[in-house]
Structure 1
Amino acid sequence: MEQRRLGDKQSEWNGFGRVDFEVAGRPCWVVVPKVAAPGRPWIWRTEFFGHEPQADLALLSRGWHVVYLDTKNMYGAPKAIALMEKFYAHMTKERRLAKRVVLEGFSRGGLYAFNYAVAHPQQVAALYLDAPVLDIRSWPGKKPESKEWRECLAVYGLTEEMVAGFKGGPLDNVAGVAKARVPILSVCGGADKTVPLAENTAVLETRYRELGGLIEVIVKDGGDHHPHSLKDPAPIVNFLVKHAQF
């Protein structure tokens, strides 16, 4: 039974109870399983909550909690990580979820998920990355006139001239995550034109394996950036249930 707190707003999401609240002034929520699994495992969708939710729903059915914190348009920058730290503290201390969490990064959500793992590898049970952005030069950097690129530069405090030497992205900081033995699953389209596999997950896979890390990559032959996830989420769920270190 989940304890209600002042300010909590109750609703329903796909047949499960949802609780909305705020942390550090940011909207956030938790979707609650019918019966929590031992240890109270949880998965944190870092962006695009509710999009292709089949893995989340399967994990809810297994007793996992599913959570989200609104850090839109912050591209996994240090300011976003600081908010995520406050949310993690709230979820583990006040809502009594497990001390480690699976971070689920869809598209640009990969920046948040991996950068949080870089900052706090001991808090991360596993990473599930789905067509993830792992280098801002790949996306949104290849669209220099876009609103997203201007937002990204601003939140990182970068100028165009500084980008070439930028070392604050996931692919620059793989070693600590590998040393902490964080398992990684990445699901990607083999023909992703928006977030190219060769510039993102393929680079991560090579570096992570060289460092002795556990990484599994599922490539959808001919697949573009969409649709995310897998129609049958069993390979995702099975990987997380087997390898996540709560």
Structure 2
Amino acid sequence: MAALADLTRTEARSVAPQAIAVLPIGATEQHAEHLPMGTDAMLVGAVLTAALDEVPADVPIVRTPTLPYGSSEHHLFSAAMSLRPTTLLPVLTDLLRSLVVTGFRRLMIVNGHGGNDEIMRLAVKQTALEHPVAVAAASYWALGAPDAATRVPGHAGWFETSLMLAYRPDLVRERRSVPVGDPPVFDRPPWPGLVVEKHGEWARVGGLTDPATDADPDTGRDLLSRRASALAGAIVAFDAATTEFRTEGTTA
């Protein structure tokens, strides 16, 4: 694995034809009163780091810097640095395009923020239509077979708080019992498969989807390990499925 930021221009051009360029993306937004605004960017970076430790050395990877901003319009009621969806899409396609121009033929976005999900999918589709490359994308919590023992991830609740207690406990503030009232409709839709958005819903539930009071670091370490293994498996599978786009030569 090589970090793009550490390579010279010659080194980057040399490894690009056979490597997978992995672009982690996050967000800078409110995570209630107990988690830092950089939670999403931190966690996607942590999961990716752990995943790359499990990827075999013969799978060439170039890791790009993390994009710390995403589509967080729904968190502006409190605090966020947000890119509008109409801004984020060209940002992602421009970043992918520049990697293609640099010589990469296989690209993968790893996402750490739910608000980015639909937009990164569009960016992947658009890039593959416009360039002779293979492109993949995934949100780190959505990979692998469903685990009945794992609760559905939310925002600033049990899932993210457990992960942060494992990864950066120094940044987790005191967790208060914050009632969220009725579950937010966007997180628990009234009909399976139905997407519902209601104005003011995030503010109504206090900026989090579920209580964080039962989060713990042991659970966080287990979640991090599981998510990392699933991501590592996805990277290896993407490598195997796109060998025709790989040009042998210097490895990363």
Q: Structure with the greater relative contact order (CA < 8 A, sep ≥ 6): 1 or 2?
A: 2
Q: Flag the structure with larger Rg.
A: 2
TM-score surpassing 0.5?
no
> Structure 2 length normalisation: TM-score?
0.43
- The answer to which structure has the higher strand fraction is 1
Question: TM-score, length-normalised on structure 1?
Answer: 0.44
